[in-house]
Amino acid sequence: MDQFATALEHRLRTYELISSQFGCLRKQIAESNLIEVYKDGLDEGLSLGSELVQFVDFVIALKDEQIEDVSREHFV
């Protein structure tokens, strides 16, 4: 059991290392796939990743504001 647990921990550390080094490639592929699926609504010339980063900053800035009679989803 100890060897099994050690092997799993080693594998998890390896996956975390690979993900930290190459995770950006997965995000770029996901962005490309999203643009392909919604090609009529998304422009390839725009950086969807940059737009999403700005959107997250916007949501974080508004998270503490009190919104009355409107759901947070509708407000955003």
Average pLDDT of adjacent 10-residue blocks, the chain of 76 residues: 90 84 71 74 66 78 70 66
The domain segmentation of the chain, as residue ranges, is 1-42, 46-76
CA distances from 48 to 9, 23, 76 (A): 35, 16, 17
Q: What is the pTM (predicted TM-score) of this model?
A: 0.37
CA distance 68 to 57: 21
User: Which pLDDT value is given to residue 10?
Assistant: 92
User: Which pLDDT value is given to residue 58?
Assistant: 80
